[in-house]
Structure 1
Amino acid sequence: MPGAKELDPYTSPRSFYGAELRRLREAAGLSQEQLGERVFCSGAYIGLFEAATRRPQAEMSKLLDGVLGSGEHFQRLCRLAQGSKHAAYFADAVELEQRARTISEYAPMLVPGLLQTEAYARAITRSTLALADAEEVEGYVRARLDRQRILDGPTRPLLWAVLHETVLRVPMGGPAVMGEQLRHVAEMARERRILVQVLPFAAAADVFINGMASVMTFRDEAPVVYTEGAGGGQLVEERALVEQSQRSYDLVRAAALSPAASLPLLDSAAEEYPTP
């Protein structure tokens, strides 16, 4: 049970948040389930905050302050605990990636961040942050490359990526950068570190997912979905919406080429771009 974890409250702002939540909840004579009912979530979800497993959230902190009569205590702690080198809308999803058992991604336009080369990541960042200085750009690039370390460890998640054929045809960063990127994805697939499928143009009309989607499953937590569009993203945890996204992803995966058939298409697309 997440709430049973004993924390040293002084190891991090998040640990302090979790310890304070547990202290004030118990002082109010509430179980995790009872507090969850009052703030519209499950008791297990409260336990994740108390165990410092989940990153505190502003809206939830406001509800907790209201129920526990703590003024703005949790809202202030939340601001301290939310520090991240990633965009605020993506920070929760990054932390969930680190615990995920499986990550199933659909990419309609760009190579997913976990599979990007440094040059490709830099090209995307420069494109989306056109007015940012070099230091800010490099900070985002380093953060993206740091995320990829989860694919190197012995407990790495199973990563299954479905790439729309558009991803192969948009030369982000120029031909040389794009060619290197596609060869990198193909190499990872051949090393059996990931599963990759390509959704060809001919099959794309048969399925529909509105933008990028990442479905994550865990050993001891409910699955979640992260979706992203231009300028922002959203973490979806409502069970019905998660199940709907899982069904949509399954349909996309069924319509795409098999992993074995996708590799030659990746190779041929890479050959269209020059080798540096």
Structure 2
Amino acid sequence: MPGPKDLDPSTSPRALLGAELRHARIKAGLTQDELGEPLFVSGSYIGQMEAGTRRILPEHAARLDEALGTDDFFTRNCEVSNKSRYPDHFAEAAEAEATAETIKEYAPLLVPGLLQTEAYARAVFRAYQPTATDEVIAELVEARLDRAHLLADPTTPLLWAVLDEAVLRREVGGPAVMAGALRHVAGLARRHRIIVQVLPFAAGAHASMNGALRLMSFPDAPPLAYLEVLATGQLEDDPATVARYQLSYDLVRASALSPESSLALIESVAEDYAHEDEQP
């Protein structure tokens, strides 16, 4: 009997490969936990690969072919499914974000990528890469703005962002850029597209002082947590670890201003930046 055909890279290769993995696993009579053992990953990780929320890495593909008797099917096709316009450390998180049902984020220093304006994103990328060509910066900005198309749907995903007050006070790109960036965030909140809160400096010590945190939930896969630092990121799927990060987020959210007070503060700071830009 001939083996499965190569995947068509023009038709959601990640989802197709995940569906093929689920079919092959069930055909082999294995549970997700049992298939995870030879790969040294959890059953939930297998579930995320099947759902297309996590990529099948080359080292996993080879073990899958061996465990499932699929010749070199997954080895051949994982390269197509792993192609991404995002940096390697962020690719999985960005692709998972695209299928998430809810996204909860604590941002300690920057406006979250999904909420950035073009001018704000350009200033951020230029600060990250001061010697990059304009073409490279333009490609990075375009990829970031494309992510924001997720918010074109009026209801999904639910996005709940907690911004540290430092996000509002750190002047990225100058007063005009900051005024535009904060007005954009406020506009999304005013249109009831997102929920946003501000964690004020007055809150003092809090549960996520170590850095940014993003939590994602999915209709057909276990939740994920994503942590990012300079030029690297980590996607967590261990249930106990994700639960601990969820608690951290809940504690931060509880210490933040109410959505109404947060929106008033964001709009007030935006006006301050606008007036500063108008000064001769």
TM-score class, shorter-chain normalisation, is 0.7 to 0.9
Residues 89 and 231, structure 2, Cα contact 8 Å, conserved in 1: no
Q: 1:224 to 1:48 in 2, by over 3 A?
A: closer
Range with greater deviation from structure 2 (69-78 or 116-125): 69-78
Match of 1:10 among 7, 12, 35: 7
Q: 1:268 to 1:15 in 2, by over 3 A?
A: closer
- Number of the residue aligned with 1:80: 80
User: Is residue 240 of structure 2 the alignment partner of residue 240 of structure 1?
Assistant: yes
Residue segments in structure 2 that go unaligned for 5+ positions in a row: none
Mapped to 1, the partners of 2:23 and 2:257 lie a distance apart of 53
TM superposition shift of 1:11: 2.0
Mapped to 2, the partners of 1:190 and 1:23 lie a distance apart of 45
Mapped to 2, the partners of 1:226 and 1:90 lie a distance apart of 9
Mapped to 2, the partners of 1:19 and 1:255 lie a distance apart of 42
RMSD over equivalenced CA pairs, Å: 2.8
Range with greater deviation from structure 2 (226-235 or 52-61): 52-61
Q: 1:53 to 1:250 in 2, by over 3 A?
A: closer
Residues 8 and 15, structure 1, Cα contact 8 Å, conserved in 2: no
Give runs of aligned pairs for residues 125-274 of structure 1, distance below 5 A: 125-274=125-274
The residue type paired with residue 183 of structure 1 is R
TM superposition shift of 1:62: 4.9
TM superposition shift of 1:75: 4.8
Q: 1:222 to 1:52 in 2, by over 3 A?
A: closer
Q: Larger relative CO (CA 8 A, sep 6+): 1 or 2?
A: 2
Residue segments in structure 1 that go unaligned for 5+ positions in a row: 1-6
Residue by residue over 1:205-253, the C-alpha shift from the partner in whole angstroms, topping out at 9 and shown as x without a partner, is 1433421111111222211111111111111111111000000000000
The residue type paired with residue 246 of structure 1 is Q
TM-score scaled to structure 2, two decimals? Answer: 0.84
Mapped to 2, the partners of 1:246 and 1:162 lie a distance apart of 13
TM superposition shift of 1:83: 1.0
- Number of the residue aligned with 1:92: 92
Residues 101 and 216, structure 1, Cα contact 8 Å, conserved in 2: yes
- For these two proteins, the number of residue pairs brought into alignment is 269
Q: 1:66 to 1:182 in 2, by over 3 A?
A: same
User: Is residue 25 of structure 2 the alignment partner of residue 31 of structure 1?
Assistant: no
SS in 1 for 2:36: helix
Range with greater deviation from structure 2 (58-67 or 185-194): 58-67
TM-score scaled to structure 1, two decimals? Answer: 0.85
Residues 165 and 201, structure 2, Cα contact 8 Å, conserved in 1: yes
TM superposition shift of 1:57: 2.2
Residues 209 and 249, structure 1, Cα contact 8 Å, conserved in 2: no
TM superposition shift of 1:167: 0.4
- Number of the residue aligned with 2:114: 114
